[in-house]
Amino acid sequence: MRRALRILATVLIVIGGLLLADGAVTLLWEEPVSSLYGRVQQGRLDDELAELERAGSTPVERRVLARLPDPERPAFAARAAARRARPGHAVGRLRADAIGLDTVIVEGTGAGDLRKGPGHYPETPLPGARGTVAVAGHRTTYGAPFRRVDAFDPGDRIELRMPYGRFVYRVERTRIVAPTATWVTRRVAYDRLVLTACHPLYSAAQRIVVFARLERTG
């Protein structure tokens, strides 16, 4: 009996130590189990995005693009990509060296979509079309892609690489808003990108929103 109790005590100590370690890792960086899942999904999305880039535009789209003036081509390509986009599937790559961000984004902001990576708000346009492009992401789970969005400074560069073009934005400001603040995704007088995430860490009480203005396309 005493031996069994000693074994049980040892097991409980080990389990307790593992739980403490897991909690420490989560507090210092990100939740490890879901983050492993997120990394696996990102690997799959990398392959999916590469396939999109290889496929390019359809023959019909190429004929239309050939007739359009250069300034109108990004908007047409963006609308065509939006028609093909499916929830949870890759649509482009988001990069921001200022916070060490390099991740594939998916279409949709549902729970299942965001487990794979940052998600594009379907009600907003894709880069190239006029308006506010909006992307949401996790800060502590599933790879924590937006962990450091609070570290952006005005002027920092954010890049969206789509299969049909590259779009460079410059951060203008960051704001903390209520979860119900739908105005952040509204269209304004210029083309912009907004990144949204829960705030503070480990809470959904508020949202942190990064606003960035389109600087150039290429």
Sequence-ordered strand ranges (E) for the chain: 90-96, 101-107, 119-120, 132-136, 157-162, 165-177, 192-199, 206-217
Closest-CA residue to 140 (of 25, 39, 45): 25
What percent of the chain has pLDDT above 70? 86
Domain presence at residue 12: no
Domain presence at residue 82: yes
The whole-number average pLDDT for the span 28-32 is 60
Domain presence at residue 23: no
Domain with 41 in it: 33-217
What pLDDT sits at residue 25? 41
Domain presence at residue 13: no
The whole-number average pLDDT for the span 177-192 is 96
The whole-number average pLDDT for the span 109-133 is 97
Q: Which two tokens stand for residue 99?
A: 């916070």
Q: Which residue has the higher pLDDT, 198 or 25?
A: 198
Q: How many CB atoms lie within 10 A of CB 20?
A: 10
Count of structural domains, the chain: 1
**Confidence check: pLDDT of 202 > 50:** yes
What pLDDT sits at residue 74? 96
Q: Which residues contact 111 (CB under 8 A, 6 or more apart)?
A: none
36 pLDDT band, cuts 50/70/90, is: confident
User: Where do we find the tokens 């000693």?
Assistant: 6
Phi/psi at 132 (5° precision): -100, 115
What pLDDT sits at residue 22? 40
Q: What is the pLDDT of residues 122-154, one digit of tens each?
A: 999 999 999 999 999 999 999 999 999 999 999
Contact 88, 120 (CB under 8 A): no
Phi/psi at 187 (5° precision): -75, 140
Domain presence at residue 19: no
Amino acid at the residue 58: T
Closest-CA residue to 105 (of 123, 121, 122, 91): 91
Q: How far apart are CA 158 and CA 205, in angstroms?
A: 26
6 pLDDT band, cuts 50/70/90, is: low
Q: How far is CA 47 from the centre of its chain?
A: 17
2 pLDDT band, cuts 50/70/90, is: low
- In this structure, what CATH number is given to the domain that contains residue 61? 2.40.260.10
115 DSSP assignment:
T
Q: Which residue has the higher pLDDT, 97 or 22?
A: 97
pLDDT averaged over the chain? 89
Q: What is the pLDDT of residues 41-87, one digit of tens each?
A: 999 999 999 999 999 999 999 999 999 999 999 999 999 999 999 99
Domain presence at residue 84: yes
